[in-house]
Amino acid sequence: MGLQVLEEVVKTSELSSQFDDMKQSLRDIGSNIERIKINREENLKRIQEQQNKFQCEIKQVRQQINSHLDQLEKQAIDNLKSTEDKVKCQIEMLLSKLSNTRKEVEDLENIISAMSSYASDLQRFLGKKQIESKVSKSEKYIRSLLEDGSLQQVTLNCSIESNVYGILSSISSFCTISTQTSNSNILLTTEKKNKLIL
C-alpha cells in the first residue's frame, strides 16, 4: 500500500517543472559565481594599484627626508669648517707674530753678545737704552697676549639638536598600513524568483 501511494505522488508531482527550477537555480549560482569572481579579481587589481601607489608615496617621503637631512648635514659641516677656519686663522696669525717676535729677541741677544765682546763702554751705554726699549716692548707684547685672551685654549663644540634625537626615538614606524571594508556592490540574481539579492 505504501508503494502505491509513492507511485501516485510521483505521477501527480511536476518533476519536469521542478527539474527546470533546479537547472535555473544552478545557472543562477554559476552566474553569481562569475560575478563574484570578476568582482574579487577587480578588487585584487585595485589592491595592487593601491600598493604600488603607496609604495611610491613612501619612497617619495623618504627621498624628501633624505634630501632635507643631506641639506642639514651640509649646512652643519659648512658651519663647522667655517668656525674651524676662523679659529685656525687667528691662531696662525698669532704664531706668525710670535715667530717675528722670537726673531727680534734672537737678534737682540746677538747684538748684546757682540756689544759685550766688541763695543766700548760708551757704545754699550748708548746701545743699552735702545735694547732696553725693544726688550720692554717684547715683554709688553707677551703680557698682552695673556690679558687679551689670545692664549686661551679654543675648543670646538658640536651639540646635536635634541629634536634630532627626539625624531629618532619618537618615530617607530614609517607609516601605518591598514585595510578598510565597504559594502559589496555585487548584484546576485535569482531568475527563478525574479528578484535581486544584494
Give the pLDDT confidence of 80-120 residue by residue, as tens digits. 999 999 999 999 999 999 999 999 999 999 999 988 888 88
* C-alpha cell of residue 172: 617607530
| Closest-CA residue to 25 (of 195, 193, 197) | 193
What's the rounded Cα separation, in Å, for the pair 38 and 61? 35
CA distance 167 to 122: 80
User: Are 36 and 185 within 8 A, CB to CB?
Assistant: no
- Per-domain residue ranges of the chain: 24-169+183-197
Q: How confident is the model at residue 77 (pLDDT cuts 50, 70, 90)?
A: very high
Mean pLDDT of 118-133: 87
Q: What is the percentage of the chain residues whose pLDDT exceeds 70?
A: 88
Global confidence as pTM: 0.64
